[in-house]
């Protein structure tokens, strides 16, 4: 009766017991690098159609909105499928799950590169989205479980840096390559990158029972904190994408930048996002809660600053950089919080966080579209900024509430 419970109790952080089958240091680093490469590849796959919009439209003879659905449908699939998929494979060894997800990435990328119809391309995109929905839930506990608890924040930061590189490196490079050759070439290249990660994981990551891994459960289980972080992350994502979705129009119509300057500012936005993730990741182990609140507050300042002073080009650049520097860290810090406060398994908590965040992205785009029609593009940043302020209020309110609802550990 107590055998399985005892194994789970020993697997929880802070019990002083080491996990069996832990790989030697160089293998840990190799697995971490493979997971970072997979994160870069998945995020690039998600956003690459944005850069190849016109090429895909002409090649498959469909409208631009139809190609845009390749991105929207992807996000909705991740939002809906994350928790059910994570729950369905909760007993499967993580190595086997990761191998299956990376195999799906390779196959779907190859099929997408060979697609001769829009509907086949859409189907392959949804397959990739299903794999990504589960990847973000499984990858975090596996990666942080390879290293000591005091290094978890830095590991989460490294994974987030890799994911952020998709916007700074992956999508721009894929867009350039597609324009030089054909949109299918960068899509096929994603399969090559996925295969590299697949081989590394298959060879170097040991198979173990999921509930027995070092990061299978939260360090300080707290159901109230879990709910607070989920709510704040969803509000923050909704606010961010209410404005970000229409950033090109804002920079052109309100700030008066030329199309060439807008492209350069998008690069600056991506670099700011990468810098914010890198800086926050280095500090995450020291002050995880303050990092989340700071990131959300910075995003709010950036969005409300753009609304207030966006007509001034210098101010617009300043607040754009602030918003970009916070966008990546918000999701990263909520993921890190899940590893601390998850009331049950961390993979389920991470799946819930990823799902609600992607739901926030979809809701933000819809909210921005509604506000755009009623109050113009400046209003989208006001609405987004106010939503972000609401996220700050949720975080601060969570701190002021007396006592936390800690989840009891199972008896040994």
pTM here?
Answer: 0.79
- pLDDT for 285 equals 79
Using the structure block, give the residue that is written with the tokens 């704040």: 232
Are 204 and 27 within 8 A, CB to CB? yes
State the pLDDT confidence band at 283, using cuts at 50, 70 and 90. Answer: confident
Residues 241-265 have pLDDT tens digits of: 899 888 888 999 999 999 888 878 8
Euclidean distance between CA atoms 24 and 22, whole angstroms: 7
Q: Tell me: the pLDDT tens digits for 303-313?
A: 999 999 999 99
Candidate from 15-19, 84-88, 176-180, 194-198 with smallest mean pLDDT: 15-19
**Site of tokens 């789970």:** 8
Give the pLDDT confidence score for residue 20 in this predicted structure: 44
Burial of residue 26, with CB atoms counted within 10 A of its CB: 0-12 exposed, 13-18 middle, 19 or more buried: exposed
Give the pLDDT confidence score for residue 114 in this predicted structure. 95
pLDDT at 23: 65
State the sign of the Cα–Cα–Cα–Cα dihedral 200, 205, 206, 210. Answer: negative
Q: What is the dihedral of CA 22, 24, 25, 29, to 10 degrees?
A: -70
Residue with tokens 């994502």: 237
Of 55-69, 78-92, 377-391, where does the model show the most confidence?
377-391
100: number of Cβ within 10 Å: 16
> What span, in angstroms and rounded, lies between the C-alpha atoms of 101 and 122?
18
CB 334 within 8 A of CB 289: no
Q: Which residue has the higher pLDDT, 283 or 251?
A: 251
Share of the chain above pLDDT 70, in %: 91
Backbone φ and ψ of 345, nearest 5°: -70, 140
Angle at 25 (CA atoms; ends 20, 31), nearest 5 degrees = 85
Q: How far is CA 148 from CA 26, 144, 340, in A?
A: 15, 8, 14
Measured between its terminal Cα atoms, the distance across the chain in Å is 10
Are 87 and 349 in contact by the 8 Å Cβ rule? The answer is no
Given a cut of 60, whether residue 69 has pLDDT beyond it is yes
**Judging by beta carbons within 10 Å of its beta carbon (0-12, 13-18, 19+), is residue 402 exposed, middle or buried?**
exposed
pLDDT tens-digit map of 27-66 = 889 999 999 999 999 989 988 887 787 888 889 988 877 8
Average pLDDT of span 182-195? 95
The token pair that represents 103 in the structure block: 């195999």
- Per-residue pLDDT tens digits for 196-211: 999 999 999 888 777 7
Structure tokens at 88: 């369905």
Contact indicator for 144, 160 with CB cutoff of 8 Å: no
Tell me the pLDDT tens digit for each residue of 162-173: 888 887 888 888
pLDDT more than 90, % of the chain: 45
Chain-wide mean pLDDT for the chain? 86
Helix (H, G, I), strand (E, B) or coil at 217: strand
Q: How confident is the model at residue 403 (pLDDT cuts 50, 70, 90)?
A: low
pLDDT at 370 over 70: yes
Q: How confident is the model at residue 22 (pLDDT cuts 50, 70, 90)?
A: low
Please report the pLDDT score of residue 289 as a whole number.
81
Q: Which of 261-265, 289-293, 403-407 has the lowest mean pLDDT?
A: 403-407
Res 11: pLDDT: 40
pLDDT tier at 152 (50, 70, 90 boundaries)? confident
Tokens of 68: 């845009």
DSSP 3-state of 90: coil
């Amino acid at each position: 009766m107590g055998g399985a419970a005892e194994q789970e109790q020993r697997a929880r952080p802070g019990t002083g017991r080491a996990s069996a089958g832990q790989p030697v240091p160089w293998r840990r680093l190799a697995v971490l690098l493979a997971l970072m490469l997979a994160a870069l590849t998945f995020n690039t796959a998600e956003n690459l159609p944005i850069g190849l919009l016109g090429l895909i439209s002409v090649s498959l003879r469909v409208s631009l909105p139809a190609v845009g659905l390749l991105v929207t449908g992807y996000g909705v699939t991740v939002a809906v499928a994350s928790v059910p998929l994570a729950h369905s494979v909760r007993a499967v060894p993580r190595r086997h799950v990761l191998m299956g997800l990376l195999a799906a990435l390779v196959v779907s990328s190859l099929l997408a590169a060979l697609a001769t119809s829009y509907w086949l391309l859409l189907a392959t995109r949804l397959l990739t989205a299903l794999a990504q929905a589960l990847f973000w839930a499984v990858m975090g506990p596996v990666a942080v479980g390879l290293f000591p608890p005091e290094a978890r924040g830095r590991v989460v930061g490294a994974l987030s840096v890799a994911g952020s590189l998709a916007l700074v490196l992956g999508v721009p490079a894929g867009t350039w390559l597609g324009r030089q050759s054909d949109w299918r070439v960068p899509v096929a290249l994603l399969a090559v990158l996925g295969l590299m990660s697949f081989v590394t994981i298959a060879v170097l990551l040991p198979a173990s029972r999921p509930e027995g891994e070092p990061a299978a459960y939260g360090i300080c289980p707290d159901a109230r904190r879990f709910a607070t972080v989920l709510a704040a992350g969803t509000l923050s994502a909704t606010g961010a994408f209410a404005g970000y979705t229409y950033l090109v129009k804002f920079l052109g119509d309100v700030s008066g930048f030329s199309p060439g300057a807008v492209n350069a500012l998008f690069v600056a936005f991506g670099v700011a996002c990468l810098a914010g993730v890198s800086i926050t990741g280095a500090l995450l182990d020291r002050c995880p809660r303050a990092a989340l609140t700071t990131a959300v507050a910075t995003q709010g300042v950036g969005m409300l600053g753009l609304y207030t002073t966006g007509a001034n080009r210098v101010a617009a650049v300043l607040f754009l950089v602030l918003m970009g520097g916070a966008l990546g860290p918000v999701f990263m810090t909520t993921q890190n919080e899940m590893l601390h406060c998850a009331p049950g398994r961390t993979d389920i908590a991470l799946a819930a966080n990823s799902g609600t965040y992607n739901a926030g992205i979809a809701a933000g785009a819809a909210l921005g579209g509604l506000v755009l029609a009623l109050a113009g593009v400046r209003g989208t940043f006001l609405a987004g900024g106010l939503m972000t302020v609401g996220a700050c209020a949720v975080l601060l309110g969570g701190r002021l509430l007396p006592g936390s609802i800690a989840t009891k550990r199972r008896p040994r």
